[in-house]
Structure 1
């Protein structure tokens, strides 16, 4: 009891001992507040952190994502500049400065495509396929947008082979007996090496082949680039130009993806080779290199090596055919023996096969002596990555348009174009034939009345407004428009450009027109007596028009010959040159567009 009472008294009398100030400072739970840094030091530190973060993102993007983010930022910046340029400077008050505006925008676009490379070159070429409808500075810039790029290092080639085959290209255990480490050609998405296969049993030496290798960065960049392309086209339609351009995005993107699948390209080549082999005439004049499926993957394709002169080497072709001195044994037939099978080949693709090679630029065509007849030329068609398949309905309509244009049946042309959601059949017909066409009477006068005053009296701004209105009237319903027309018209422009570069040795319109008419008779072989009589009359008109076109062609050829004989020039003015001059005149009078002489070369 005494102890308990003492304990309670002690508790009541106990008081906590207060620590001294010195002890309080030494044993405080909260640390002392640091003295604030000067403002300039804080800003400097934040800037350093931000710069370091940007550097890390840039390094990671470049190392693991092939600079896809950086390329997209560059694209969006270019789009912002273009949009701002047109919003601020495309005004009636600055009409005199519009040519300089187009020049600046052309530089921005060209620098963007060449800086980003890869698929951007393909996208730029797709846009440039319609260069004739772009301002003059853009026509010049897009004409120089070549599909060329530096080679990737051999270490990257080894990595592609390791991922695709698990083996090196050459050496012990290699895919080939010999593989040239230096590429013979390098484009934006792939490069080509020459190699020799291992000899088969009984062979002393393996076959020489061309090995096409996709660059490693392309696969990483594809979806990013196509996403940026989608944004760009949307901005151009909705913000910058107010023109219907976005409707082609899905179609173009899908075909660009297919072009990156080399197994699909090998299948395209085999299918085209089968079509050519089944044609008695083309099988003797055209050749598709053999592909080797066992040595082909999605990113590597192996095909037969072909020695020949590229069509892009104009002087080499002319020497090979004896039109220029320097060939000891020129091939027979002259340049006509080259262009005639070329026009027939692509006409058959459009009208008979419905299977069309869409990239026949001169770099993709070789000319060589025929292996079985060394004095005759043979065309070799390369690069089968880009094809379009035509539906039976579209192929029938496409044949009808061509025959209707050449037989003067404007009702047929008008009906098909309206079915396709295309207005202004005159403009469409001119784009198809690549020559001025006026359907019906009084149309030029009505157009002049609608404009109110001649184009020559309009300002740059007013002419641009008229051109945009006409292009919107041309594409009246983009949902119904067959997207394959984009590639078909591109194909035809390239074939025309090839014919022009060789001084127009063949009447391209005549060959194409007869192919369309022949294909149409095969589509509808049986008809009633009344329908047959109508067809006979139709065919008589068709032949009459074709005779007039052929007469114009031979007049142009005679003029060329006189120029050469009189020493006024080796080439003179060919048939295709005269057609292009007429089309440029039509563009100037109808749209106020200054179209360059090389805008139709494709």
Structure 2
């Protein structure tokens, strides 16, 4: 058995139903906690994670008077002065609810908007419940070595940061604006326009989308849409966002996705977003490409180069484990191969080799599972690999090919420089070096007593050249670390 799942049981299906019901009864912050657990199959097990994915983020709406009060307080004006019309809630979730409204443009015409209003008291309730989450996580880490490996306290800290950001709608508006800028030249994807004049910490106003939900396959077909093309566009858009932009939508379930009258996919709800740095983007691209071309050695090497697997393990043993994942998928038709399942299996294997949980990759994996599920629901013969290959090849060619170049691997790591595309291994080694230097700076730079003593002995022997060189090296290293700090 690879690892003892902290919450996994044989009857996980029944447990998942009971747990979902219990979390719903406990309130909004517990619902959000359950949704977070659904993104962490490494903690709760695959079956329970799948059961928790069905946990509905639906709550009873709060009253119109409360909504109006929140808007007036946030925007400094009564609803009547801000909107020409303001209707009842059309959706209510754990953190907020959405109203359909309209505003008057400068030319006198009206435009429909979606107004997201923060649930009154949610911040206070979440702060109170967060203490319980931390207590459980600390206890699990103290009582279980597996709990410590999974970094449960860090997981709760991630949840806390995520929900805190999610409850500030100015940040969600900024996320929508950033994604709109990233995708402005994409012909098959777009983002609703933000109404900044009617957006504040507790209120978000966006362009209203009158598209067809991706969950309504029959309506898409009736409207003349090619569902196979929509499925392909969805997956390629997601991979472009992750690899090209390093910024992706972390909650792309069918309720958040529409097809507009021009056939473009439109995403809404930007409260949960994922970011990938250069290292993570390269990791994703090289792993997917390695599996596509059956280069398992390269898939294994990139894990070591970016520092995800401790180098105490032989790369040959890890290559063997990766081959055990990759070979069974070959010989099957492409539409039978699940990329999301492959990544899930890969993360399970890596846990055997001491790879620590990485929240950014887990959100990526969870999002890919959801996107793949939506695509296959639209087109049962959806070919994940054919859809992904052009995006992966484009990234590889541009970043690791002859004309590729390396960006700074870590903020402030000036001078890492540019590398020719023929030596991607050098890029990986540089990434490891800079990451380890960054970790050292976080702990503080201290010369070991043995080093100081050795320098003293060198001076005592009169070997001043060696001593001077040692002090110069120490000073340069200290200056570099201070600069990076």
**Is TM (by shorter chain) over 0.5?**
yes
Query: 1:499·1:505 contact (CA, 8 Å) conserved in 2?
Result: no
What RMSD in Å do the two structures reach over aligned CA positions?
3.5
The 3-state SS of whatever aligns with 1:380 is strand
TM-score normalized by structure 1?
0.57
State the Cα distance separating 1:242 from its structure 2 match: 3.8
Q: How many residues align?
A: 381
2 CA distance for matches of 1:438 and 1:387?
A: 20
The 3-state SS of whatever aligns with 1:406 is helix
Q: 1:337–1:433: structure 2 CA closer, same or farther, 3 Å change rule?
A: closer
Aligned with 2:177 (options 250, 255, 270) = 270
What residue is the counterpart of 2:56 in the other structure? 146
Q: 1:253–1:482: structure 2 CA closer, same or farther, 3 Å change rule?
A: same
The 3-state SS of whatever aligns with 1:434 is helix
1 CA distance for matches of 2:165 and 2:387?
A: 31
1 CA distance for matches of 2:218 and 2:344?
A: 37
State the Cα distance separating 1:273 from its structure 2 match: 1.1
State the Cα distance separating 1:103 from its structure 2 match: 6.6
Aligned with 1:404 (options 285, 290, 293) = 290
Query: 1:535-593: CA deviations, max 9, x gaps?
Result: 9xxxxxxxxxxxxxxxxxxxxxxxxxxxxxxxxxxxxxxxxxxxxxxxxxxxxxxxxxx
State the Cα distance separating 1:505 from its structure 2 match: 4.8
1:238-277, aligned counterparts within 5 Å?
238-239=142-143, 242-243=146-147, 244-245=149-150, 246=152, 247-277=154-184
1:369-518, aligned counterparts within 5 Å?
369-370=261-262, 377-418=263-304, 419-421=307-309, 426=322, 433-435=339-341, 473-474=351-352, 476-478=354-356, 482-518=358-394
State the Cα distance separating 1:117 from its structure 2 match: 2.7
1:261-410, aligned counterparts within 5 Å?
261-278=168-185, 282=186, 284-313=187-216, 317-321=217-221, 327=222, 330-332=223-225, 334-370=226-262, 377-410=263-296
Query: 2:37·2:49 contact (CA, 8 Å) conserved in 1?
Result: no
Query: 1:311·1:367 contact (CA, 8 Å) conserved in 2?
Result: yes
State the Cα distance separating 1:234 from its structure 2 match: 3.0
Q: 1:119–1:133: structure 2 CA closer, same or farther, 3 Å change rule?
A: closer
1:66-105, aligned counterparts within 5 Å?
99=10, 102=12
What residue is the counterpart of 2:104 in the other structure? 198
TM-score normalized by structure 2?
0.70
What residue is the counterpart of 1:526 in the other structure? 402
Query: 1:335·1:505 contact (CA, 8 Å) conserved in 2?
Result: no
Query: 2:193·2:207 contact (CA, 8 Å) conserved in 1?
Result: yes
State the Cα distance separating 1:391 from its structure 2 match: 1.4
Could you tell which deviates more after superposition, 112-121 or 265-274? 112-121
Q: Which runs of 4+ in 1 moved over 6 A?
A: 427-432, 531-535
Query: 1:318·1:335 contact (CA, 8 Å) conserved in 2?
Result: no
2 CA distance for matches of 1:432 and 1:475?
A: 23
Q: 1:188–1:230: structure 2 CA closer, same or farther, 3 Å change rule?
A: same
Structure 1: gaps of 5 or more residues: 1-82, 91-97, 322-326, 371-376, 440-469, 536-602
Query: 1:121·1:147 contact (CA, 8 Å) conserved in 2?
Result: yes
Query: 1:494-519: CA deviations, max 9, x gaps?
Result: 11110121133532222223312210
Q: 1:509–1:136: structure 2 CA closer, same or farther, 3 Å change rule?
A: closer
Q: Which has the larger radius of gyration?
A: 1
What residue is the counterpart of 1:162 in the other structure? 72
Aligned with 1:219 (options 95, 116, 123) = 123
